[in-house]
Structure 1
Amino acid sequence: MDPRYHYFFAVKLPKEAKQFLKRWVEMNKEQYPFKRWVHYEDYHITLAFLGFAEQSMLKQIIMQVHETLTGVDPFKLTIDQLGTFGKKTNPRIFWAGVHHSDSLCSIQKKVYNQCIRTGFELDRKPFRPHITLARKWNGEEPFNDKTLTSITIEGNSVTFQVEEIVLYETHLNQIPKYHEFYCFSLK
């Protein structure tokens, strides 16, 4: 049977950012009893979720996004906050956020619009850059969003250079489950 993978464009987090988040999760996991924690190698910032795509469409969007990102310079992001999506007392997503970046918003808009022009049907929700850490609240008490503070270790946050945008392929039966299908270097 031919597997039907899902695809998405995302900011690839460098090793130091993934290690920072992994360490933070290890230190704070007990305080936040979520059902499923994301493997640290799967941390990313989604720019556009494509879902299933035929190989011909993937080839086309790769060429077009390559052209779109030509000449885009690397930029810095700082992980600075925690948040949730879903019901306030029973969230479905627990995430780390980044400080606002015009460069990130610009790249997301370029990639997203190129996907729409190519014929992909994308989610129309506003872009909310985040790194999913865990899913499905599993606490005995309702979630308390007052516990959400900045994300630091010993008072330090992490700033990293974004140098790659990746088209990921999802392998649901593997850990980590996101595999690089194509990588775009920012220069």
Structure 2
Amino acid sequence: MGDHHYFIGIPLLNEKRDEFTALQQLLKHDMSYKNWTHPEDFHITIKFLGACATPVLESIKQQLMSYLWPKPFELRLGPADTFGKRERPRVFHIAVNSSSDLLMIHEGVEQICEQAGFAREGRRYSPHVTLAKKWIDGLSPLATEEVDSRFMRHYLMNVDRFCLYRVHPQLSPKYEVVYEVRLPSGGGAGGTVN
């Protein structure tokens, strides 16, 4: 099954899904995108792996299970932001604050994946939740004089796990959790297999 692509990311809680789906509806008044993220697919990417052979995946799972992760923590999300041209951004997303706990997870995942043969990401880690990508038409509401305050909101989210996902490009939702790492409540390592 080496043709499947994989990534490691933090899933979004249900109430955040609802709020971000409402933002997508708002955005659809102004813009067209080729890809709108399905609410069940909202996540914060930690690392994209791409194609991955089963033995390599198993090795990564073992490492994820035994690594000493931080305890559950609170993450600050928002406001809305973009990648690409200001008026016609290729990606419209919700920014995520790079807390020290999130950076610890990112660094741990980078180390584990590097040992498994994956190159480290060259760019600075820029955590976010993608709402839409591949701009088709329309003007970004963030590029207007009066930005709708709903795009400026901040959100708090508790993080108690992150997941290894398999990508199914033809399906909707397209991301399947194949392994879940729960952050240790009392210290120590802990992963659970789905």
Normalised TM-score (structure 2): 0.83
Kept after mapping to 1: 8 A contact 2:70/2:104? no
Task: Quote how far apart the aligned CAs of 1:130 are.
Answer: 0.5
Q: Deviations over 1:72-94 (max 9, x none)?
A: 20111122112222344432211
Aligned equivalents of 1:74, 1:62: Cα separation in 2: 19
Identity across matched positions, percent: 30
Kept after mapping to 2: 8 A contact 1:82/1:150? no
Q: Which residue does 1:21 correspond to in 2?
A: 20
2:160 is the alignment partner of 1:174:
no
Task: Quote how far apart the aligned CAs of 1:150 are.
Answer: 8.5
Pairwise CA RMSD of aligned residues? 2.4
Aligned equivalents of 2:76, 2:55: Cα separation in 1: 36
Task: Quote how far apart the aligned CAs of 1:151 are.
Answer: 7.0
Aligned equivalents of 1:178, 1:150: Cα separation in 2: 31
Q: Which residue does 2:125 correspond to in 1?
A: 127
Aligned equivalents of 1:160, 1:178: Cα separation in 2: 21
Q: Which residue does 1:158 correspond to in 2?
A: 155
**Closer, same or farther in 2 for the Cα pair 1:149/1:184, shift >3 Å?**
farther
Q: Which residue does 2:54 correspond to in 1?
A: 55
Say how many residue pairs are matched. 183
What is the SS of the residue equivalent to 2:137?
coil
**Closer, same or farther in 2 for the Cα pair 1:150/1:6, shift >3 Å?**
farther
Aligned residue type for 2:103: C
What is the SS of the residue equivalent to 2:29?
helix
* Structure 2 runs not aligned, ≥5 long: 185-194
- TM superposition outliers: structure 1 runs of 4+ over 3 Å: 87-90, 147-153
* Structure 1 runs not aligned, ≥5 long: none
Matches within 5 A, 1:76-95: 76-95=74-93
Kept after mapping to 1: 8 A contact 2:31/2:138? no
Kept after mapping to 1: 8 A contact 2:82/2:92? yes
Aligned equivalents of 1:151, 1:60: Cα separation in 2: 45
Aligned residue type for 2:45: T
What is the SS of the residue equivalent to 1:166?
strand
